[in-house]
Structure 1
Amino acid sequence: MRDINLPLPLARAVLHSIFRITLNQRLPWRLQRLLLDAGAVAQLVPAGTHVHRLSLGGRPAERITAGPERGHGADARGAVLYLHGGGYAVGSFATHRSLAARLAHETGCTVYVLGYRLAPEHPFPAGLDDAEMAFLELVESVGYRPDQIALAGDSAGGGLSLATAQRLIAQHGHTPAALGLIAPWADPNQIPERERDLVISRPWSRACAAAYLGNGDASDPGYAPLTGKLHGLPPTYIQVDKSELLHSQCVELVAALRAAGVHVRFTESQGLWHVAQLQAALVEPAAAAVTELAEFLREAIQPVSMRELK
């Protein structure tokens, strides 16, 4: 990995300034997207990463592998369908390519990053529909079994991953191999108790929630999967920092999942920030968190007994 290990105080100071400017509800959504994409160039992609553009479920996507291209069929090592965060209104391949590439290297699996439709141009359930169709195409056209595909995502993408798994189980009988959720926004109806953390603010998150909901029903579990059916979900790993606005919601989600009988792994970092995993190439503790997530996903997609046969 081509990493730069910045001191945490320096990284926090720089990122705090950047995010206060870019994630600002007073800025047009398109400008926020452009600024985030421009800043993402500092998030380095590991050497030996192969990125291929394709269409998945009718939406643009990137297939990311460690090393040479593996062809268009199903990867025998399994896959991760990654749904990026950004409050359902911002975020892109550029902002999440570094993280997705690290997951590809550390899981050994192919990682698909989906360019699902964003609010407010495309409110709920557009993003959920896109994620559902992408997973179904991986099964029906590419050739993966549902239990060879893990769903992963951060923040809004984490909530979308949870909602997608619920829909796949309920409507198609497909249970993904695992869920890897980084600070998932599982209920946009909940209003944060504090004004902001290092990355996001309460006004910005409320603007995102309203943009995503549009004219929809806020009680729909597809919009707020924390309120939906949790029984029967696959093994789930949730990571969050204790300083985040979403920390209490993540704690609530973990308790609800465990009460529903779902196997859950939960880690709480101290001293990082909201989805610090995006800066794994810059900060060693964030890289360590990505490694832990990758190990969990790899074990779920490729049980030890299967890997020992290779």
Structure 2
Amino acid sequence: MSGTSFALAPSTAATLPAASWSSTALTLPPLGNLDAYISAVNRIPMLSADEERECARRWREQHDLEAAGKLVLSHLRLVVAISRQYLGYGLPQADLIQEGNIGLMKAVKRFDPAQGVRLVSYAVHWIKAEIHEFIVRNWRMVKVATTKAQRKLFFNLRALKRSVKAGAGDDEVLRERLTDAEIDVVARELNVKREDVIEMETRLSGHDVALDPLPAADDADEPQAPIAYLADLRHEPTEVLAARERELLATEGIEQALAQLDERARRIITARWLQVNDDGSGGATLHELAAEFGISAERVRQIEAAALKKLRKALEAYA
């Protein structure tokens, strides 16, 4: 989402009303120019309490989009300031600002000046809520927090880890694991179970792994990608057909192939390859079969070799 435009209110930037805004010619910067955008919103004048109440009244009673746009534009600098608090999550500030602006517009839509609070105080909750949702949704491919309690722990754990690990940089905070004593401190400070802290700590310290990464230039020593050992091929069509073919060869195919042998050759193949002794060992030996048929062990071997060759041809034809 980086490099997105900052279209924040319906055509309000070019149609600002007069009064204190008359001297401000606001032109939104080109797409992707974050520094120019921040400079532009910082030049937008703040509204006085009376101006804010009047704009909010016009929006609530008359659905005046110009008044709503004025409320939004005058608080864009608040979104920029709040977005700076979440730069440590590795997400583009432009995206954080964009999501925060959505929260600001939601706050303006619901703002009631009759409650006696300024919009800046009311909007902080909505701005942070949208940024929090964006971070949880995009920080990792797999969500690290899904419940309300997990989200609270997710955003508070970083700050507490920084306090218990004095001297650690922002990037080191998530990578460095908490000790048992530090886990107890965090659990006590956040009033959560020790097991919840351990679970979230494990999620934060982990990282995403590509299921099927692009091969490296020299991947001879590269570890096997997860796609190789996570794939379930049991129901893959070609594997199903191959398994069915092997099953038919092992039953009907063998039966038909053995039927083409004479009785002595069939007995030798069955005794040597298709039977197992009571102790779990292999089939009959050449000498045992030689004694059974009254021939030499070498002759038994020759019959066996000829029978195996005939069986292979029969199975190939069956397949």
Using structure 1 for the length normalisation, give the TM-score: 0.21
The structure with more strand, counted as a fraction of residues: 1
Structure with bigger gyration radius: 2
The structure with the greater share of residues assigned to helix is 2
Q: Which has the higher contact order (CA 8 A, sep 6+)?
A: 1
TM-score of the two chains, using structure 2 as the length reference:
0.21
